[in-house]
A and B are shown apart, each in its own frame.
Chain A
Amino acid sequence: MAYLELKNIYKTYGQGETTAQVLSNINLTIKEGEFVAIVGFTGSGKTTLVNLINGLLEPTKGEVLFKGEPVVGTSHERGVIFQNYSLLPWLTVGQNIYMAVKEAFPKKIKSELHAIVADYVEMVNLTPAINKRPKELSGGMRQRVAVARALAMKPEMIIMDEPLGALDALTRGNLQDEILNILGKDKRTALLITNDVDEGIYMADRIIPLRPGPKATLGPEFKIDIERPRDKTALNDNPNFKKTRNAIIEYLMDIGNERKSDVQEEYVLPDLSPKSFVSQF
């Protein structure tokens, strides 16, 4: 049964002459427990797509179904990890997570809530930093707090919008493993938006390219038939990995070239020669 379903989604911004159609005819089905990655160029409408799914935006046309019900507004069942961490800078690590936990479990008593916070801080290895404020943390640590905050609410589905986009390659690798570990523990449904094909292949069960906007739409899906747990170093020699990776990159490159050849406009450069200032002085 479809867990999350996007049916003929269209999204436009603005009205009249300034209308910009960002997404067009998006169809997507995610099964329970599945890890799907959507790969796309920057500016192709990935964040818009994510905000439609988590309920921050409403589609212009079409509908988003979550467990068969149309999505109206945000919900604690769908946890979100934002691209830019979005931690509240005046709260400590613990307080940031506590605030989320308290909203998600309003019936629990204080000590239970604190126990949940401590658990998840431990899970992302930040126990020594629990009383620090975001500005005292590195980018990787901040994103770990964001991961802990999203997961501590125990959402049924987790939506990640380029969560590791701003991090360096080494931190990225570590965090990919950590996220997979935590998600693997209770096998949650996950949607990952990324611009890194390798990251998608390493983490997801299925990769779907997003053809760049305006009027972005989803491309054909690529199944990743690599057994879990996946080993990053061994992955490079896996023929299956190579094949899938090449296929996806080829597809994305083709779209890129197509897009370039679409540009018919010719730019005529003015006939100018550099002025000499030397003679003037």
Chain B
Amino acid sequence: MKQSMTLGKVTKFIGLAGFLGTVKNMFTGKLEKEDFKNFLRKVIVPLASIFLFFGLWYLGSKSLYNIEAEHRIYKALVEQGPTEAEKVRTCIASGDISCQPNTLPSPAQVWESYKMLLADHYAISADKQAFKEKTAALNVKRIANGEAPIVYTGRPSFVDQILTSLKTVFAGFLLALFIAVPIGIVIGLSKTLRSSVNWIIQIFKPVSPVVWLLLVFMIVKTLNKDSSGDSSFIISFISVGLCSMWATLVNTAMGVSSVDKDYINVAKVLKLGPVQKVFKVILPSSLPLIFTGLRITLSVAWMVLIAIELLAQSPGLGSFVWEEFQNGAVDSNSKIIVAMFVIGLIGFLLDRIMLTIQKMISFNKNDGI
């Protein structure tokens, strides 16, 4: 019973409740005839769209594969003659890795790469564990002697890259939160301040993440001259924060400046002091809008993170994608597609988490979608 309840919560959280509920009703016989339309809308159509998506993907990758293969054979024919061309043709047909056309991978290839990345992750974590056990005794001794412990410096697995990216995005998100919310409140409270900083917001809001990265790079590079450490993490999370904070800034300022006049009248009649008025009336009443802003901020942060990591050479999903692209191995393309799905899914989950928090704190039933 408890298990099914938590399961229900989870499916509702990811927005699958309608689909799974209808499927469950179908099996338990609760589905009436009138529900057929419902069934069609909630089960058949989504499933059909998924099949259509994979079908189109499969067909597309197949035709791209053929174009690429024909091109190779033609090239061999022109440059090296018919015998070589025939050799290339048989090589491609045999499925030998050395001569596979490199193009959009098919769903099956992506699935294989996914399994491979996972296996790779398990291998690396086992390796890490073994390393940790091996160096445990030595590290205790080194720490006792005041020396730095030996750490694992092997290549990070795909899952490690995901965790690094999540760490960066949360650091950036927190930075955006701590900059944008207080400034937004101050701006929202004062009309003069609002009009005086409006131009900054309007001009910097549309600036591309890449430019922000370069700006942060200029500043951090100078400030960080003395330290020998790697500053790519600092650069990337600050850039993510600066890119994504604008939505929260604008929403907070708007929420604070547009508090319902009735609430302000209540504050006046109760004779609340200025601090009390801000914390007990203005802030709570603008919380829904602030959270709408934070939700946008988090999704923007996740979106720009990949581009920024890619450019800042900071470890994470972005550099994973970039390295795979530079690598150009046979399975590189399918690894990139795996990363694409992972990025999409994590972005979706982050958005859902924010939506849940937003629904929890919003006091008006009609708000918060």
Contacts and interface: CB of A to CB of B under 8 A. Distances in A.
A89 interface: yes
A54 interface: yes
Query: Which size class do A's interface residues fall under?
Result: 20 to 34
| A interface, over-half SS | loop
Contacts of B21: none
| B interface, over-half SS | helix
B269 A80 contact: yes
Contact of B269 (A74, A88, A91, A133): A74
Q: Which of A56, A75, A88, A91 has the most CB of B within 10 A?
A: A88
B265 A82 contact: yes
Contact of A86 (B262, B280, B287): B262
B266 interface: yes
B263 A103 contact: no
A86 B363 contact: no
Interface string B258-279: 0000110110111110001000
A104 B280 CA distance: 16
Interface string B334-369: 000000000000000000000000000001110000
A133 B364 CA distance: 11
A230 interface: no
Query: Which size class do B's interface residues fall under?
Result: 10 to 19
Contacts of A100: 270
Nearest to A76: B271
Contact of A99 (B262, B280, B285): B280
B265 A103 contact: no
Interface of A: 54-56, 73-76, 79-80, 82, 84, 86, 88-91, 99-100, 103-104, 133, 135, 153
Interface of B: 262-263, 265-266, 268-272, 276, 280-281, 284-285, 287, 363-365
Given A88-B280, A103-B272, A135-B363, 17 more contacts: A55-B268, A56-B265, A56-B268, A56-B269, A73-B268, A76-B271, A86-B262, A86-B263, A86-B265, A86-B266, A88-B281, A88-B285, A89-B364, A99-B270, A103-B271, A103-B276, A133-B363
